[in-house]
Structure 1
């Protein structure tokens, strides 16, 4: 059942992009739950590898790399998300050449990704620090290089340890997409506000926001269930 639900996401994106002989719909016209899931998914796909790179960089023996990664993580974690979103939506276009234009959805995805990557980096770093040093020494004895040790030994275990924290980041990222309603993108919360602006639905705040809460609860619960199932498969001894 979980796989069936997940498989609907790429199918929906294919339809919106003009697959199956349909007319493509530009992302600027996407809205509702489709836009919420699209921004969350794409931001997560970008933020996870970026966060892993930052976590490894913060553990680097090279001072310049360690300091740059540490500064980025600490700087991004000191900023409120809404400020990063405002910068991405309103100020980034001012610094780009006239011939380069990023639509608002792409700018939102990039802003969410660079913000979430700083938090993911700390979660992954905590997982890396939980790995006993004798495993690194065992990898060196086997003749593995430093990148091979981290890629084949450290990172798989670190990600497994950090999975609950990464799930929390995924849920938070999904919920934080509601901030885009402030900036004019009509995602799930934006659709709800548009409905309440309709004269036919004036005063129906309870119905709209209860339904909105049910939608967010369903999506967040689904993420938690999938994560719990994955954690059980990775840690069968803890069942």
Structure 2
């Protein structure tokens, strides 16, 4: 069968585009060839090492530690249950809206809010489940738990801070601005150390927070300051004519914020907010230096085993792939939400 005229024309256009982009001049040709040789050689060496030289036993033999940390073996089904629920929620959310019943679509936001307390109930114990102390939590389960807790705390806090920074009350505006600028000017590792050491000093006598909750509070207050600036940027993008129209319709300031300003501001700020969520996951790796055994902490403990000495490259490549996979899921979720909001906005 002969090639259709349309496909032949498309092939010629593709070849012409490649020639213009990569071989437009002798210098472009030399640069393209040199880069192709360097990249090809690097990829060949890397895959040769991955297939023939790397010892992946350090990963295969410790998959349970990477997923569940030191969670008791007899209770590990609870950790699997929560990770399975979270994975199913990701998949359902990423499915096209036309494939989901309307009640499920309406329940999705509530399910994302409830997944954190469900995880705490399954991991910590309660309602007949045997208690498991937080020092046994670890690996992927702990990293995801910290990220969810941080986001669910930081987003409402960021919205309130953004609104307070635009307040007509000078004292509230100054205090909010000072908090945001002070927090954004501090390194995260210092905030985490302060949270672990200072939060107990502000609690009433006899009260205590475990290290996981202190980490969530520290990350939440830190990320909330950045989210506040993202939301404030979205608020500033709203034309003043819309606010004047809302005022002319008799909407109160509170209704104007809830029905006119915030929906549009959050839609505009969504890409930046998604970046903060991904950064929150990556920031959990710093907690390894505070004794929490999340993904990086697990890797450090594995590399301390004499049986795996010298296997740093395998461990950190596997760790990078894990972080990359979760980050890809989070960004896909953000793009799915952005498309849904855009469709809603057009209607």
Normalising by structure 2, we get a TM-score of 0.65
Give the distance between the partners of 1:97 and 1:140, measured in 2 at CA: 45
What is the aligned counterpart of 1:79 among 186, 206, 210? 186
- Please name the residue that 2:74 is paired with: none
Q: For the Cα contact (< 8 Å) 2:119–2:145, is it kept in 1? A: no
Higher RCO (C-alpha 8 Å, min separation 6): 1
Matched, 1:210 2:317: yes
Match of 2:288 in 1: 181
Match of 2:73 in 1: none
> How far 1:27 sits from its partner (Å)?
2.2
User: In 1, distance between residues paired with 2:143 and 2:281?
Assistant: 7
- RMSD between aligned residues: 2.1
- Please report how far the alpha carbon of residue 65 of structure 1 lies from its aligned counterpart in structure 2 after TM superposition: 1.0
Deviation at 1:23, TM superposition (A): 1.4
- Deviation of 1:97 after TM superposition, in Å, equals 4.1
Change (3 A) 1:124 1:215: same
Deviations 1:158-215, CA, capped at 9 Å, x for gaps: 0000000000000001000000001111011000101000111111111111110010
SS in 2 for 1:86: helix
Q: Could you give the per-residue CA deviations for residues 110-149 of structure 1, whole angstroms, max 9, x where no partner exists? A: 0000000110000000000000111111111111111110
Bigger CA drift: 29-38 or 7-16? 7-16
Mapping for residues 26-175 of structure 1, pairs under 5 Å: 26-175=133-282
User: 2:88 matched to which residue of 1?
Assistant: 4
- Segment of structure 1 superposing worse, 134-143 or 170-179: 134-143
Provide the rounded CA distance (Å) in 2 between the counterparts of 1:28 and 1:19: 17
Cα gap change, 1:102 to 1:17, in 2 (>3 Å): closer
Q: Is the radius of gyration larger for structure 1 or structure 2?
A: 2
- Structure 1 consecutive aligned stretches of length 4 or more whose deviation exceeds 6 Å: none
The alpha-carbon deviation at position 95 of structure 1 amounts to: 4.3
**1:201 is matched with which residue: 277, 297, 308?**
308
> Relative to structure 2, which stretch is displaced further, 64-73 or 98-107?
98-107
